[in-house]
Structure 1
Amino acid sequence: MPTALGGIRILDFSRVLAGPYATMMLADFGADVLKIERPEIGDETRAWGPPFDRDGTTTYFNSVNRNKASVEADLQNDDEIEMLLELVRTSDVVVENFRAGTMDRLGLGYERLSELNPRLIYCSITGFGSADGAALAGFDLLVQAVGGLMSVTGTQAGDPTKTGVAVVDVITGLHAVTGILTALIARGTTGCGQRVEVNLMSSLLSALVNQASGYLGAGVVPGIMGNRHPSIAPYEAFNTSDRPLVVAVGTDRQFRAFCGGLGMPELGSDPRFTTNERRVKNREPLGALITERLIGENADHWFQVMVEHDVPAGPINSIAEAFEFATRLGLAPTVEIAGQVQVANPITLSATPAAYVTPPPHLGSTSLSLLKTEGQ
């Protein structure tokens, strides 16, 4: 079966999460990704465990490195740098997430590589850009803090909390994919490559969407609201007899349907709640009335009721329950590669779908000298 990115070679110098996530997304669609790793050590996440899989590899590393070949290369060794430069001549994309300036010092910076291969797409991923923030280390938790995400995340004011996964890294990785694909399309017109730069800080600020716009457009500095939404009600988690139920009512029609599902149709015509603006203003009395009703039954009961009334609502699942739910919906959330179960690529293409060819590679699974020989 043809692949969307067949024939595209990527030299991947990135480690940990944002870069490897981006290159795995591209590898799933056929790109030939050579993961360049430090001899004997490799990507830091090879040691980030437990948990470990049955072969002793960390599941963290496995989560973002399938469909790649691992190439050990000493970036302090001139001979191995020369072999990498030869590979650059026949590659389409370079991805790196060192601190700004590191690749230049190694002799692998954009200016040098673009001279060797003018068609090269060179993607740099940093924490805080390549200007005044170049010296700052870019870690997801740090960016969640200084980028404002933790200031709006938590259970109550004064209790800022990070998200349960490194979501800034993932968002940045997706931005890197977008930048690389955009540059490849542009190359089809101009014949020339270019530099793509993404950073964690800017990616997070973009991902703050309505919260950022509220500040920029209206001067509103949001704070922690727990599971509530600053502009919509009811849009939060409510207690039931066993576990919380999330209700995500976004329109007046949905609110009236929700009230019908609760068996309290009168709430839909209560002057305090007839419009979203009024519901936001009166969210406290509305929340008390909703909780009083929901507490009488369990979350699964209310989930079924709300599905029947076409109201967006559902229980807060564990990750295990989330995969079970997705499977029941026919979403095929997992794939098996060489006996290893992984999360499926979430992008579906009808003609050139994702392919799951090889499991995450063992360190040094492909020889740098052999690649050089093949390229000659």
Structure 2
Amino acid sequence: MLVADFSRVLAGPLATMTLADLGARVIKVERPGAGDDTRSWGPPFSATGATYFESVNRNKESVCLDLSDGGDLALARELALRADVLVENFKPGGMAKLGLGYEELAADNPGLVYASISGFGSAQGAALPGYDFIVQAVGGLMSITGDADGSPYKAGVALVDVLTAKDATIGILAALQARTATGRGTRLEVNLLSSLQGALANQAQAYLGAGKVPQRMGNEHPSIVPYQLLECADGPLAVACGNDGQFRRLAEVLGRPELADDERFATNSARVKHRTELIPLLEQALAATSASVWQDKLVGVGVPAGPVATIDAGIDYAESLGLEPTINVQDASGETVGRQVRHPITWSPGFETRTSAPPALGEHTESVLEWLRH
């Protein structure tokens, strides 16, 4: 399968890298001399480039084309006509102005699956610039992130871009499956705002179903208690009691079994109502020893608990569980040049996939253009 990647920054490149991880050939079209914006987004930089760019561009070929040049534009069109999938995140209508819109291409490539990614869709929001941070703000995510009496916060990663990339990938795979029956491709649109709102899940439904507009609650959960950080003798421990049985075991481990029979705390609904009374009682008991000791005791009886880890510690933890969270990537000579987070799906039986390093700008221009001209 051939994917023509006319996207840049995060959502589009992550979607196309996912397809590349799954075995597709992805040709990334970049601006001569500059390339994808994220090539310059640093520090941090690895030995081979900006780590931001590298995080979403492995297993691709890079070809430089100046779309304002007639000859290069013709080659870009030829690439699109040979492709099974095209992914773009130009401003809505931008590709059509270049003669690379879906209608123009589908006339000669009816099987093309054409995915357009934008910030706010192609209708009234078409002119609005779409950046993850802005969508987190206007879409409501920041309003529920942060301490109740503090400022709103964005998520620690460009979460909306990541969600949008996953939605785009799902849509592309569904369209390819449909094509096997109809022989025809389709155009699909995804936008950051819709992907965010689709991911708000219970928080959005609290408003739509019950008229309750969620507010910031720090690390507390609006519908489950305890499901938050609790202070121990040496720092916080994440504790998540998703049912009454887990809470009873928590109370027993803490030496306070009577809490599970107290009518204020016996059921989850009661605990949500009496949250401010319960949490100090739990933390009073937890103050007796360290978070690591409590973690071992709680996990030992089936109560979910864990420390607040840094990213490096999180990766180490995944490795200790045998999850193989990273892969080594190689350059064209087969030499390992870096380590990256692997695609999260594990297949049984597995299939062989590439692990090529993110390409240098224009690394494959000569070979790709030779192929396109013949």
Conservation of the 8 A alpha-carbon contact between 1:72 and 1:368: no
**What is the aligned partner in structure 1 of residue 67 from structure 2?**
75
CA distance 1:87–1:372, change in 2 (3 Å): farther
What is the aligned partner in structure 1 of residue 222 from structure 2?
230
Q: 1:354 to 1:322 in 2, by over 3 A?
A: farther
In structure 2, relative to structure 1, the CA distance for the partners of 1:369 and 1:323 (3 Å cut) is: closer
TM-score normalised by length of structure 2: 0.96
**Residue 223 of structure 1: how far off its partner (Å):** 0.4
Stretches of structure 1 lacking an aligned partner (at least 5 in a row): 1-7
Q: Please state whether the residue corresponding to 2:235 is helix, strand or coil.
A: coil
Residues 304-343 of structure 1 correspond to what in structure 2 (within 5 A)? 304-337=296-329, 338-343=336-341
Match of 1:46 among 21, 29, 39: 39
Structure-1 separation of matches of 2:68 and 2:350:
39
Let me know the Cα RMSD of the aligned residues. 1.3
Q: What's the counterpart of residue 192 of structure 2? A: 200
The CA deviation at 1:375 is: 6.0
One-letter amino acid of the structure 1 residue matched with residue 10 of structure 2: L
Residue in 1 that maps onto 2:332: none
Q: What aligned pairs does 1:298-309 form with structure 2 within 5 A after superposition? A: 298-309=290-301
Residue 369 of structure 1 deviates from its aligned partner by 7.0
Tell me the distance in 2 between the aligned counterparts of 1:253 and 1:375.
67
Give the deviation of 1:294 after TM superposition: 1.2
Query: Could you tell me how far apart the structure 1 residues matched to 2:164 and 2:4 are?
Result: 18
Q: Does the C-alpha gap of structure 1 residues 90 and 289 become closer, same or farther in structure 2, counting only changes over 3 Å? A: same
Q: Does 1:24 align with 2:27?
A: no
Q: Tell me if the contact between 2:4 and 2:27 (Cα under 8 Å) persists in the aligned partners.
A: yes
Partner of residue 91 from structure 2, selected from 74, 83, 99 = 99
Mapped contact 2:79–2:372 kept (Cα < 8 A):
no
Question: Which residue pairs with 2:4 in the alignment?
Answer: 11
**More off after superposition, 173-182 vs 327-336:** 327-336
Say whether 1:213 aligns with 2:166: no
CA contact (8 A) 1:157 1:223 kept: no
4+ long deviations beyond 2 Å: 351-357, 368-376
The Cα of 1:271 is off from its aligned counterpart by 1.2
* Residue in structure 2 matched with residue 5 of structure 1 by the alignment: none
Distance 1:370 1:59 in 2: 25
Change in Cα spacing, 1:334 to 1:114, as seen in structure 2 (3 Å) is same
Shift in Å at residue 64 of structure 1?
A: 0.5
Counterpart of 1:169? 161
Deviation of 1:355 after TM superposition, in Å, equals 2.3
Residues 137 and 374 (structure 1), Cα distance of their counterparts in 2 relative to 1, 3 Å cut: closer
How far has the Cα of 1:158 moved from its partner?
4.8
CA distance in 1, matches of 2:373, 2:20: 20
How far apart, CA to CA, are the structure 1 residues paired with 2:290 and 2:133? Answer: 35
> CA offset at residue 302 of structure 1?
1.1
Deviation at 1:159, TM superposition (A): 1.2
Q: Which residue number corresponds to residue 179 of structure 1?
A: 171
1:81 to 1:209, Cα distance in 2 relative to 1, 3 A: same
Q: In structure 1, give the amino acid aligned to 2:344.
A: P
Q: Which moved more, 1:284-293 or 1:343-352?
A: 343-352
Relative to structure 1, the CA distance from residue 196 to residue 352 in structure 2 (aligned partners, 3 Å threshold; closer, same or farther) is: farther
Deviations 1:269-310 (A, max 9, x none): 111111000000001111000111112211111111111110
Q: What is the alpha-carbon distance in structure 2 between the residues aligned to residue 228 and residue 358 of structure 1?
A: 42
Task: Indicate the residue corresponding to 1:366 in structure 2.
Answer: 364
Helix, strand or coil for the counterpart of 1:181? helix
Shift, 1:152, TM fit: 0.3
Aligned residues: 368
Letter in 2 for 1:294: L
The whole-number CA distance in structure 2 between the counterparts of 1:24 and 1:30 is 10
8 Å Cα contact 1:86/1:372 also seen in 2? no
TM-superposition CA deviations, 1:216-247 (whole Å, max 9, x none): 01110010000001111011111112221111
**2:151 alignment counterpart:** 159
Once the two structures are superposed, residues 302-326 of structure 1 have per-residue CA deviations (whole angstroms, 9 ceiling, x without a partner) of 1111111100111111111111111
Question: How far off its partner does 1:156 sit?
Answer: 2.1
Following superposition, the deviation at residue 266 of structure 1 comes to 1.3
TM-score, scaled relative to structure 1: 0.95
Tell me which residue corresponds to 1:344: 342
Q: Answer whether contact 2:251 2:257 (CA < 8 A) is retained.
A: yes
Worse-matched range after superposition: 137-146 or 345-354: 345-354
* 1:96-135 to 2 correspondences below 5 Å: 96-135=88-127
Separation of aligned partners in 1, 2:144 and 2:254: 30
State how far apart, in whole Å, the 2-side matches of 1:176 and 1:267 are: 47
Matched AA of 1:146: V
